[in-house]
Amino acid sequence: MRIIAIALISLLLMAFDYRQEHLSSVRKGLSTLVAPLQFLVNLPTILLNRSGEQLKSHSELVAENRQLTDENLILKAKAQKLNELEAQNARLKALLGSVSERREQRQIADIISVRASEFNHEVLINKGSSNHVYVGQSVIDAEGIMGQVIEVTPFSARVLLITDARHDIPVRILRNDVRAIASGTGSLTRLLLNQVPHSIDIKVNDILVSSGLAQRFPSGFNVAKVSVVRHIQGDNYAYIEAIPLARLERSGQVILLWPNGYQAEDQEVRHDKK
Amino acid sequence: MTRNKRSLGFILFSFLVGLTLLILPLSNEVQDYNPQWLVLIAAYWGIAAPEKAGILMSWIWGLFLDVSIGTYLGIHALSLALVSYMAIILHQRLRMYPMWQQSLFIWLLAGLDKLVVLQLNNVLDTVEVQWNYWYSTFSTALLWPVVFLLLKKFRPN
């Protein structure tokens, strides 16, 4: 008898959770309870990485430092150019009477867990609502867009990767601004472009960037590179595969983006902007 | 009274260890073989102490599993409650079985757990799985004697 009651409650929970009604607070509470456990199980990995840093030889560190300094110099030089271009872009946009887009605020977070069920592509990061992380926020790494935040607890957040089968992201081809939607497939190395007509100009190795439509992701960030273009006789649409550019399979650091008009004015975020 | 409390504490502790082992970060290849620890533990308490650790206990730990790995709330809870239920209604018969037959039964329970999780997920989102989805049922069954003996040795009477 009791099993029937429990089954019914479970089914109700699932249905509500699926439709994301009423339950987010229950979920949040339970997540906060298991958060310490998640930190605990990932501690060995973190410690191993740390001790790896400690054990590096002096010469290795010097070499790494030199390489980073070089890289930094090059990036700074590029940034100079970028500042000028941004200012120019803003002027031109002002002339055209459209809204200028300034740069987003960003903050670095660590991936603390990559453990998810077999069906989901999700990672856990170590910034939460105490750092003003919010649901729907974009997460990128150095190479491109990784995904978006779907669940926030005070000190951690869950990120849905763009390759998850439940995820779609609006993109455009960098070369010619053609729009499309890239859907996750459940494989870490594959995105599918939906409903692209045969007539559209798209080639292998085209870069796809976020289009900013739907206003979830900021526009202009790298998403994927086209890997397969196939025109199958009789199909209404072309079959197009793309490889995500972000390193989704690696754990490490990610970057959280805040749109520049974001309301919660707090010191930390502003500080990191510099 | 204190004995009851101690055994309840041990039951809770065993479930906590099970959950911890289940959410350990492992590489994808090893992950396939990580046994369904909570199935083992729910089954053990169902067989060994059905009056103390009922289906409600398994259900609650299933909820914790759901939030830690981010599945829809209630999926693993329901599958673990079912595992617990099967173990409880058959516990008298199972106690008579030799170890290898118990293992075989645990293999079926592990399969049931995976099947329920897969089908419930499939109702909400369409999912596809390869054969490697089922590998962990075998490691679960193989590990049953070890878990059984360990828990039997350390549980307070």
Q: How far lies B82's CA from each of B11, B18, B89, B115, in Å?
A: 18, 17, 11, 11
- pLDDT over 90, % of chain B: 54
**Residue A1 pLDDT:** 74
Closest CA to B130 of B118, B139, B117, B120: B118
Q: Which two tokens stand for residue B94?
A: 């199972």
Write down the residue that tokens 């911890």 correspond to: B20
Of A11, A117, A165, the CB nearest to B74: A11
Residues A207 and A241: their CA atoms lie apart, in Å, by: 12
Of A10, A40, A117, the CB nearest to B70: A117
Q: How far lies A188's CA from each of A119, A183, B134, in Å?
A: 12, 12, 20
Say yes or no for a CB contact (<8 Å) between B133 and A31. Answer: no
Residues A91 and A83: their CA atoms lie apart, in Å, by: 12
Residues of A in contact with B25 (CB under 8 A): 41-42, 45, 113-115
CA-based nearest residue in chain B for residue A150: B70
Of B16, B67, B117, the CB nearest to A27: B67
Residue B141 in this model has a pLDDT that exceeds 90: yes
**Residue B59 pLDDT:** 93
CA-based nearest residue in chain B for residue A112: B25
Quick one: which H or E segment has residue A238? Answer: strand A237-244
CA-based nearest residue in chain A for residue B76: A10
Say yes or no for a CB contact (<8 Å) between B70 and A120. Answer: yes
**Residue B35 pLDDT:** 92
**Residue A186 pLDDT:** 83
DSSP chain B: -HHHHHHHHHHHHHHHHHHHHHT----HHHHTT---HHHHHHHHHHHH-TTTS-HHHHHHHHHHHHHHHTPPTTHHHHHHHHHHHHHHHTHHHHHHS-HHHHHHHHHHHHHHHHHHHHHHHHHHS-----GGGGHHHHHHHHHHHHHHHHHHHHS--
Q: Which two tokens stand for residue B153?
A: 């040795």
Say yes or no for a CB contact (<8 Å) between B25 and A114. Answer: yes
Chain B CB within 8 Å of residue A9 CB: yes
Q: Taking a C-beta distance cutoff of 8 angstroms, is the pair A158, B70 a contact? A: yes
Q: How close does chain B come to A264, measured CA to CA in Å?
A: 27
Of B69, B124, B129, the CB nearest to A18: B124
* Chain A interface disruption, residue of B24, B38, B55, B72, most A CBs within 10 A: B72
* Chain B interface disruption, residue of A119, A148, A152, A187, most B CBs within 10 A: A119
Residues B108 and B138: their CA atoms lie apart, in Å, by: 10
The whole-number mean pLDDT for each consecutive block of 10 residues of chain A, a chain of 274 residues, reads 86 84 76 83 78 78 90 87 84 72 77 76 87 90 90 87 91 90 89 88 90 86 92 87 87 82 51 41
Of chain A residues 236-265, which have a CB less than 8 A from chain B? Answer: none
**Residue A61 pLDDT:** 87
Check residue A214 and report its DSSP letter.
G
Indicate the residue type of B107: W
Chain B CB within 8 Å of residue A119 CB: yes
Check residue A172 and report its DSSP letter.
E
**Residue A274 pLDDT:** 37
Residues of A in contact with B66 (CB under 8 A): 30
**Residue B14 pLDDT:** 93
Residues of B with CB under 8 A from a CB of A: 16, 19-20, 23-26, 54-56, 59, 63-64, 66-75, 77-78, 81-82, 85, 117, 120-121, 124-129, 133
Which residues, 6 or more positions from A42, have their beta carbon under 8 angstroms from its beta carbon? A112, A113, B25
Residue contacts between A and B (CB atoms, under 8 Å): 109
Whole-model pTM over 0.80: no
| Residue-wise pLDDT tens digits, B79-89 | 999 999 999 99
Q: Taking a C-beta distance cutoff of 8 angstroms, is the pair A258, A269 a contact? A: yes
Q: How far lies B58's CA from each of A154, B24, B34, in Å?
A: 27, 20, 19
Say yes or no for a CB contact (<8 Å) between A122 and B70. Answer: yes
Burial of A129 (0-12, 13-18, 19+ CB in 10 A): middle
